[in-house]
Amino acid sequence: MEKTSSTFNIKRHCNGTKISRWCIFVSLCFLANFFSRVKSMPLCGDKSCIIKTSRNLLDEENSISIGQGVKLDDLELHIDSTILAPMKASELRNYDELLSYEDVPDNSYVYHFIRKMPKGGDLHIHELSMVNIAWVVSELTYLPDLYYCDTRDGKFVRYRYSDQIPSKEHFCNDSWISVTERRKEMGVTDFDKMLYDKMTLEYKRQGAKMAWEKFIGAIACVLDLIYSEVGFRPYFKQALTEVYEDNVLYVEVRAEMLPILRKNGKSYPREETLRWFMKATKEFKEANPGFIGAKFILISVRSKAKEAVESDIKTAMALHQKYPSHLIGYDIAGYENNGRPLNEFLDILFIPSQNGLSLPFFFHAGETKRFGDTDENILFAILLNTTRIGHGFALIKHPLLMDMVKQRNIVIEVNPISNQVLNLVSDMRNHPGVVFFSNGLPVVICSDDPAPWKTSGLSYDYHAAFMAFTREKDGLEVLKEMSRNGIKYSTMSEDEKKNAFNTWEQKWDEFITSFQESETFASAKNLQRLDHEDL
C-alpha cells in the first residue's frame, strides 16, 4: 500500500499512556474515511507485456511479505539451498498425508531442523499449559497428601494437596479420595492413564463449543496442582526446562496469578504468587545462562463476574506499579463465543487511565469463526490501544482494522496448533496467518496451550506456520525473521532487547556453524538417509 502525506496518524491521537473517549472518536473517524489505495495496473495487449507485468506485480507483492528484508550470508544461503529447501519441497509433496500435528515429529525433517534452531521468544503461552501432561501425572500426582474428586458431570477430576481429607466442595460429585490409595486399587497403569486422558484432548472435527468444554476441564485439573505450595515450584521449573529444551530463549507467560494454596487450607496473597514466579525464573536463569528470562501478564477469564474482573485489573495495576519489569500488563481471555465481549468491560478497563496509571493491554480478540458481535472484540481491543492481539483469527474479515493493525504496528500473536485443535481451522493452509504473512503484518508465532494437545515448546507451531503460511520457495530468511520477532515484539526494554539479541545471535551462529561439522550437507540430497540426529 502506498503511503501519502494525507495518511491519518492515529498513534498521534491515541497515545498509549492515556486512553480517552477522544481517542475512540478520532479512531472511528479514521475508520469512516480510510480507503485502500491500489496502484494502477496497465492493460496489456501482448504476451510479453503480460509476462513482464505479472513478474513485476509478483515481485512487488512478495517484497512486503515476512522475511523479505532479511539478508542471509553465504553459509546461511548454502544451508537454505542444500538442506532446508529440499526438505521443505519433499514435505510439501506429501503434505496432505500429515493428517495430524501429532504425526509431525516422526515424519518431518523440517520440524527437527526448526526444533534445533534458536527461537527468540514465545509471547503467548498460558501457565496452566506449559508442561507435558505425562510429566504432570508422573511427578505431581505422586507427591504425598494429594486427594482428588470427580466433577459432577464425571468428565474431569479436581485435586487438592492437604494435611487431612478436605471438606467436600460444590464442584465434587462425592467426597475427596486419596490419590495414593485409589492408584493402589485401580493399578498404576489404568489409574495414571485415566488421569492423563482427563488432562488432554484429541484433535478431531467437532464443534468449537465441545472442544472448548473439554479444554477448560483439562486445564482446570492442572490448575489445582500448580497453584499449591507443593506443586508450584517443581511445575514451573519444569515449564521453563521444556521451553529451553525446545531452544526457546524467552517467554511472556499469561497467568491468572491465583493465590497459592497451602496444605492447611490457607493461601498466600496474589503478590506472593508473582514473587514465586519471579524467584523461579531467577533461579532458572542462574542455572541456564543462555536463557533470557520470563515476564508475566495477569489475565481474567471473560466468564467471570464484573466485580471479579475489576478486582483482577486493580491487582494488575498494583503489581505493575510495584514490579513493572516482571508483571507487564493485563489481558481478558477465554471462549469468546459464549463469554462477555470487551465492550462490556469498558468502564472497568478505563480504571487505570482514570487514575493516571499506565497498564499495557494484551487482549485475546477474534479467536472465533463468527462474523458478527463476537469478532468485534478486535475493534475494541484496537480502540483500547492493545499492545498485541492474542490470536486475531477473525481479523481478515475486517480489512480496515487490518490496515490499522499494520499502520499502528499492533502485533498479532498467532497460535496455529491451538486454532486447529479448538476447531477454528482444519487445513492449516486456510489459516488467516497466510494472509498476515503475505501482507507483512507484525506477527509473532506462539504456542498458547501446548500441553493439553500433547505437544511441548514452540517448534510445532513454527513448523505449522512455515509449511502452511509461506510460499514454496520461502526458506531460512522467513524462519530467521520469525525467530527474531519473538524478541523484537516482546515487552523487554531497549537495553534488555539489545542484550537478548546478542544472546540470540550467538545461539544462531552456533546453530548455523553446527552444520559444517555434520554430514548433513552430504546427505541432504537423499532425504531417506537423513537421520533426525543429523539435524
Residues 119 and 508: their CA atoms lie apart, in Å, by 9
Considering only residues 243 and 70, tell me which one the structure prediction assigns the higher pLDDT.
243
Considering only residues 268 and 524, tell me which one the structure prediction assigns the higher pLDDT.
268
Structural domain of residue 491, as residue ranges? 101-132+232-514
Q: Is the pLDDT of residue 97 over 60?
A: no
Q: Is the pLDDT of residue 8 over 80?
A: no
The verdict on residue 361 lying in a domain is yes
Average pLDDT rounded to a whole number, residues 496-501: 98
The verdict on residue 84 lying in a domain is no
pLDDT at 98: 55
Q: Which of 183, 283, 174 is nearest to 236 (CA)?
A: 283
Helices 459-468, 109-116: axis angle to 10 degrees equals 130
Confirm if 493 and 325 have CB atoms less than 8 A apart. Answer: yes
pLDDT at 210: 81
Task: Name the residues annotated as catalytic.
Answer: 367, 391
Q: For residue 367, what is the domain's CATH number?
A: 3.20.20.140
The verdict on residue 412 lying in a domain is yes
Residues 24 and 453: their CA atoms lie apart, in Å, by 39
The residue type at 205: R
pLDDT at 41: 63
**Which of 2-11, 365-374, 405-414, 419-428 shows the lowest per-residue confidence on average (mean pLDDT)?**
2-11
Q: In the predicted model, what is the mean pLDDT of the chain?
A: 87
pLDDT at 6: 37
The verdict on residue 401 lying in a domain is yes
pLDDT at 531: 46
Q: Is the pLDDT of residue 160 over 50?
A: yes
pLDDT at 518: 65
Q: Is the pLDDT of residue 532 over 80?
A: no
Q: Is the pLDDT of residue 57 over 80?
A: yes
**Which of 61-65, 516-520, 522-526 shows the lowest per-residue confidence on average (mean pLDDT)?**
522-526
Winning range, highest mean pLDDT, from 102-106, 266-270, 524-528: 266-270
The verdict on residue 208 lying in a domain is no
User: How many structural domains does the chain have?
Assistant: 1
Average pLDDT rounded to a whole number, residues 285-299: 98
What does the angle CA 447 – CA 429 – CA 444 come to, to the nearest 5 degrees? 35
Average pLDDT rounded to a whole number, residues 162-179: 88
pTM attached to this predicted model: 0.88
pLDDT at 171: 81
pLDDT at 4: 37
Query: 351 burial class (0-12, 13-18, 19+ CB within 10 angstroms)?
Result: middle
Percent of the chain topping pLDDT 90: 66
Q: Is the pLDDT of residue 92 over 80?
A: yes
Give the tens place of pLDDT for each residue, 342-396.
999 999 999 999 999 999 999 999 888 778 667 789 999 999 999 999 999 999 9
pLDDT at 527: 42
Average pLDDT rounded to a whole number, residues 113-136: 97
C-alpha cell at 355: 487514575
The verdict on residue 19 lying in a domain is no
The verdict on residue 37 lying in a domain is no
Residue 49 pLDDT level (bands cut at 50, 70, 90): confident
The residue type at 54: S
Helices 476-488, 494-513: axis angle to 10 degrees equals 150
The verdict on residue 35 lying in a domain is no
Contacts of 321 (CB under 8 A, 6+ apart): 357
Residue 526 pLDDT level (bands cut at 50, 70, 90): very low
Confirm if 157 and 221 have CB atoms less than 8 A apart. Answer: yes
